[in-house]
Amino acid sequence: MKKNIIKSLSLLAIAMLMASCNNQPSKMDGASTADDGTSQGLRIAFVELDSLTEHYEYAKQMRDSLEKMSANANTVLSNKEKELQRSENSIRTKLQNNGFTSEQQYNTAVAALEQERNNAVALASRLNNELQQKQADFLKTMQDSLDNFLAEYNKDKKYDLILNKAMILHSDQKFDITQDVLNGLNNRYNKK
Type of residue numbered 169: L
Helix (H) or strand (E) holding 187: helix 178-191
| C-beta of residue 74 within 8 angstroms of C-beta of residue 67 | no
- Reply yes or no on whether the pLDDT at 128 is more than 50: yes
Phi, psi angles (nearest 5°) of residue 159: -75, 145
User: What confidence tier does 172 reach under pLDDT thresholds 50, 70, 90?
Assistant: confident
| C-beta of residue 42 within 8 angstroms of C-beta of residue 27 | yes
Return the pLDDT at 92. Answer: 93
Q: What is the DSSP letter of 45?
A: E
CB atoms within 10 A of CB 136: 11
- Residues 68-81 have a mean pLDDT of 96
Return the pLDDT at 33. Answer: 37
| C-beta of residue 50 within 8 angstroms of C-beta of residue 10 | yes
Q: What is the DSSP letter of 25?
A: P
Angle at 137 between CA 119 and CA 161, to 5 degrees: 150
Bridge partners for 45 per DSSP: 162
C-alpha–C-alpha distance, residues 192 and 183, integer Å: 14
- Reply yes or no on whether the pLDDT at 134 is more than 90: yes
Distance of CA 68 to the CA centre of its chain: 13
Whole-model pTM above 0.85?
A: no
Q: What is the DSSP letter of 99?
A: -
- Residues 105-122 have a mean pLDDT of 96
Q: For the chain, how many residues are written?
A: 192
Return the pLDDT at 40. Answer: 66
C-alpha–C-alpha distance, residues 109 and 148, integer Å: 58
C-alpha–C-alpha distance, residues 48 and 3, integer Å: 18
**Mean model confidence pLDDT for the chain:** 83
| C-beta of residue 59 within 8 angstroms of C-beta of residue 53 | yes
